[in-house]
Amino acid sequence: MKMSLASLLFLVSTFMYAQQITINEDQATIHFTFVDKEVDGELSDFTFTGSIDLNALETSTIGGSVATETLDTNNWFRNRHLRSEKYFSTKAHPRLYFKSNTIKSTAMGFRVSGQLTIKGITQDVAWDFTKSEGNLIGVATINTHDYDIKVYDERERNQVTIKIVLPYTQ
């Protein structure tokens, strides 16, 4: 009986552990697109914080940060301008931060609701994640106007779609 109980506990603990995933930070990509003008770019130097269990999403947490100095639109002049105090203010605010509040399963994957902080301003954001071939792919839309980044005077023109790809291993 003791051997059976020990074997059962081993199998259960192995099964539970196998559901925890590790995010491969150095392979993560963060891509953004300013919807109005279809200007796109990337951010790098991603740091993950949290713990993800794909079979217990409601107890998981997702968080992280990315360096604002790495903002790259493939146009050095635009990059310099966006990194300036008028927009992302990279010297005063070297990182963007996200921390989840809730994670819920959806028909297509899961939804992560939490708080995104840019330039010291925190706003609620929801990410829709799917799982594909060892990657978690999340998409969210924000308005940079909410973070005092007014690329365009009209609020509706400051919509940005963000796509994050988080490669993982089990």
Tell me how many domains the chain contains: 1
User: The whole model's pTM is what?
Assistant: 0.86
CATH number for the domain spanning 128: value is 2.40.128.110
Asked if residue 5 belongs to a domain, the reply is no
Asked if residue 13 belongs to a domain, the reply is no
**pLDDT given at position 150:** 94
**pLDDT given at position 13:** 46
Asked if residue 11 belongs to a domain, the reply is no
Q: pLDDT tens string for the chain (170 positions)?
A: 454 544 444 444 444 444 799 999 999 999 999 998 888 999 999 999 999 999 999 999 999 999 999 999 999 999 999 999 999 999 999 999 999 999 999 999 999 999 999 999 999 999 999 999 999 999 999 999 999 999 889 999 999 999 999 999 98
Asked if residue 15 belongs to a domain, the reply is no
Asked if residue 126 belongs to a domain, the reply is yes
**pLDDT given at position 93:** 98
**pLDDT given at position 19:** 74
Helices (H), the chain: 2-19, 76-83
Asked if residue 3 belongs to a domain, the reply is no
User: Quick check: 162 and 42 in contact, CB under 8 A?
Assistant: no
Domain that holds residue 142: 21-169
Asked if residue 100 belongs to a domain, the reply is yes
**pLDDT given at position 38:** 81
- In the chain, the N- to C-terminal Cα span, in Å, equals 31
Asked if residue 12 belongs to a domain, the reply is no
Q: Which residues contact 8 (CB under 8 A, 6 or more apart)?
A: none
